[in-house]
Amino acid sequence: MEKFDYDLFVIGAGSGGVRACRVASSLGARVAVAEERYFGGTCVNVGCVPKKLFSYAAHYKDDIEDAQGFGWVDSQRSFDWSVLQANKNKEISRLKEIYKAILKDYNVTIFQTRARVQGPNAILVEGKVVTARYILLAVGGWPWIPEFEGSHNAITSNEVFHMESLPDSLAIVGGGYIAVEFATILNRLGCNTTLIYRRELLLRGFDNEVRQFITNEIQRDVTLKLETDVCKIVREDKELSLFLDKGPNISCDSVLYATGRRPLTGELGLENVAVECSVNGAIRVDSNFMTDEPSIYAIGDVIDRVALTPVALAEGQTVANYLFSKEKSCLRYVNIPSTVFSLPNLGTVGYTEEEALEKNINIDIYVTTTKPLKHSLTGRKERAMLKLIVDRSNDRVIGLHMVGDDAGELVQGFAVAMNCGATKSDFDKTIGIHPTMAEEFVTMLAKREGI
């Protein structure tokens, strides 16, 4: 039998890679991992975790203002960006050490440097070649800025997490969840924010009715320039001028481009093996995450399927089990809940209305918009939206969407019910908790007409 230095060599110590290491090691495999940048990957360092901390900070502005309606008349309103950054950095450092400790606890050999694939079972690391029965690529993705005149003046979401000071004015280009989140967060923290997007509605890929609702809600606070694109950026002293294809040009202190991310497959050594990539650089894998090279597997953002941390974790665990245990099940990308941590939040699971209709499913739609009880005293005009999509043939709830406070917390629980096959009748038979926003999901009786 051919001998290898390791049973599994993982390139990338983000969420998915670390999970694969831990599970594989627990199953008796000899495991090594290489990480050139930071443990925990995008999520811990420049993604989910710091973004959620910033989102909490942004919510306090609304909470402080809303407190006056409940008798808190002496609320302090000053905000110190440096305090938020310092505390955030401390927490991120703590989490990175936890990731490293997990690897050590499972006896995973750690290489804190770049690794390159040299062959089907060979990896170049620290100037030497090591061998592994299997190689797992979990290198993630990186923000991408299109090239045009002055594009070098723009920053990405990575740099936002390390800004020394908050700019007085900021233009954000993009309409996906990263752009929408930062537009609403930084606006609340005191930055005069303009969001520029080339389409009619924000958040392409989400339910259109929900997109319309949240676009209208966001424009109460953030200046939106929709169906507009940037032609060039010119620096004039300390100010940036954005030349737009429609409407007047704008000036601001900083420009954030949130127009997508691309897999980090460059200079990974893939030319040395039979690994195939798509046009955008994503690694092509089969249902078991195996590439065209039978000894090499890939998971997470680098395969460009569902770019969510919990999905990468599930993929890492699935691969480890597939390779080193008798469990050979495939991961099902069904009813994956997700949240946009904007203000207001958007939570979703299952089909959008458009997806259901494209699949020729006969559906019933239940929608309600409501003013949260909290704002009966605050005077804030914010509203919430809840939507259910039901398969008419079997009464199963196949789509659930919400815009409003803590949407992610609510949708997570309903995702469990949907994975258990919950029907609209099950929802109707469930007694709601009153008064809460969640009860709206079990009290919607009127179908929307016209489906």
Query: Looking at 59, 152, 401, 434, which residue is catalytic?
Result: 434
In total, how many domains does the chain have?
3
Taking only the tens place, the pLDDT of each residue in 407-434 is: 999 999 999 999 999 999 999 999 999 9
Q: What is the mean pLDDT of residues 431-446?
A: 96
pLDDT digits (tens, 9 = 90+) for 325-368: 988 889 999 999 999 999 999 999 999 999 999 999 999 999 99
Structural domain for 72, as ranges:
6-143+262-324
Residue range 368-386, pLDDT digits in tens: 999 999 999 999 999 999 9
The whole-angstrom separation of Cα 268 and Cα 13 is: 15
Q: Is 434 in the active site? A: yes
CATH number at residue 122: 3.50.50.60
Whether residue 329 is contained in a domain is answered as no
Same domain, 267 and 136: yes
For the cut 60, the answer to whether the pLDDT of residue 275 exceeds it is yes
Q: Is the pLDDT of residue 290 over 90?
A: yes
- Considering just the CA atoms, what is the radius of gyration of the chain in Å? 24
Do 220 and 356 sit in the same domain of this protein? no
- Are 33 and 132 within one domain? yes
| Spatial CB neighbours of 374, under 8 Å, sequence gap ≥ 6 | 66, 405
Overall average pLDDT of the 72-92 stretch: 91
Q: Are 197 and 226 within 8 A, CB to CB?
A: yes
Tens digits of residue pLDDT in 128-184: 999 999 999 999 999 999 999 999 999 999 999 999 999 999 999 999 999 999 999
- Is residue 421 domain-resident? yes
CATH number of the domain enclosing 412 = 3.30.390.30
| In the predicted structure, residue 1 carries a pLDDT above the cut 50 | no
Q: Would residue 450 count as lying in a domain?
A: no
Average pLDDT over residues 57-79: 90
**pLDDT of the residue at 195:** 98
Q: What is residue 73's predicted lDDT score, i.e. its pLDDT? A: 86
Res. 71: pLDDT tops 80: yes
Query: What is the Cα–Cα distance from 193 to 170, expressed in whole angstroms?
Result: 5
Tokens standing for residue 311: 């999905």
pLDDT at 247 (0 to 100): 87
pLDDT at residue 20, as a whole number = 98
Same domain, 163 and 274: no
For residue 331, tell me if it sits in a domain: no
